[in-house]
Structure 1
Amino acid sequence: MRAGGISSLLLPFRAVICDSHSLLPSVDILEIWVMGGASKLLMSYAPGFVTSEYTGDSIDMASLPLNFRKIVVSALSSNFREATKLVNVSMLQPREGELLIKNRYVGINASDVNFSAGRYGPVNQLPIDIGFEGVGEVVARGGGCEHFQIGSAVAFMSGHAFSEYMLLPVKYAILLPEVQPEYVSLLASGLTAAISLEKIGEIKAGENILVTAAAGGTGQFAGSM
């Protein structure tokens, strides 16, 4: 693959391809061709997308940077690189019922491309955050979040994942035993397969089902359940 985009861009989390390649390991070069009709959407944010590994060290607000970087959708376009830009913003302060998360691994899905193209309905205001799922660690917490410790590993499904740091309502945080990229693929792809088969389809032992697009992320989970 060609290394394109912003070649000097470094963000301290890794990308985990969760859609058609959900079982692949995390990648350092975030460059994904997504085929949609006649269009090709290049998602490329260059070599060195990861700069640090999870160490398990606890972090408090005093040790956090004053600013951090995130990717936002600044214009609706079927070209992901033209739709998004990298911005620097001020550090966030968690309020009651919120966790401040430092992202370590984030999922890359076709949904991100569809969202930045405006295919999920009208967007009332731009710029807007993007990224639907990830795994990170708690670096600060507001009141009412005492069952999460500083340094706790969490998974989440939220619209702010393509960011070094993000605020997460505690009710959406899934406590994990450790920070590992494999948990990312269990979120959108894994849950979609499980809910479709077990809750909606109510599949019973001995029944036969047809899984379309079985090579995709959701399809692979469905075929292994």
Structure 2
Amino acid sequence: MLLGLLLALLVQRSKRFNRLAQVVLLWPAMVAPVVVSLIWLLILSPNIGVLNKLLDTFMLPTQDWLGMEVGAIVAIVIVDVWHWTPVAFLMLYTALCAVDEEAVEAARCDGANEWQVIRYVKIPMLMPAILGTIFIRAVMGVKAFDEMYLLTAGGPNNATTLVSLHIRDVFFDQLNYGYGSAFSVLIVLLMSLIIALVLTVRTLRHSRFFMREVQE
């Protein structure tokens, strides 16, 4: 979210490289998760990985990046952030382009610097898009499977066994259909609760904004 917002703000300010930046930033999201996993496996592999080859070239100790508990979860997070930050960028950049420029110019005329414009004008106007993006990323996080399964298969010591992999193990390895079904229903209910919270917060913000406009 933070990277997507930062990139959206930077790209909007860049008039000369605007189109090029959009293409470069969006292409990771267009690559299939399986392909992304294979690319990063070639980078992080302890034997043939590009990263270890680079470390060996500079006479630095190589690491089993996917064989350590901390290293594996960090690698999964990095891969997921690299792959799906473009989604957050696209949603926030689209919302940022729709921000009322008159309000921005009015704030600048009143003496606000660039940080104050972002903090008190742009971000409040982007809040519906931010909440929507958080919700979408939460759903995508629960559904994440390909990267974890292909890179680490949930290991080492179940360090990267998150929701989707756990459900898969319960159903197909343990054949515990009762627990797996109950766990899946619980996840659906939790995600429904998150949707309800997001919609409630968004409705309250719109109501407060409407009441403020009426009072003014």
Category of TM-score, reference length = shorter chain: under 0.3
**Structure with greater proportional strand content:** 1
- State the TM-score, normalized to the length of structure 2: 0.24
Larger helix percent: 2
State the TM-score, normalizing by the size of structure 1: 0.24
User: Which is greater in Rg?
Assistant: 2
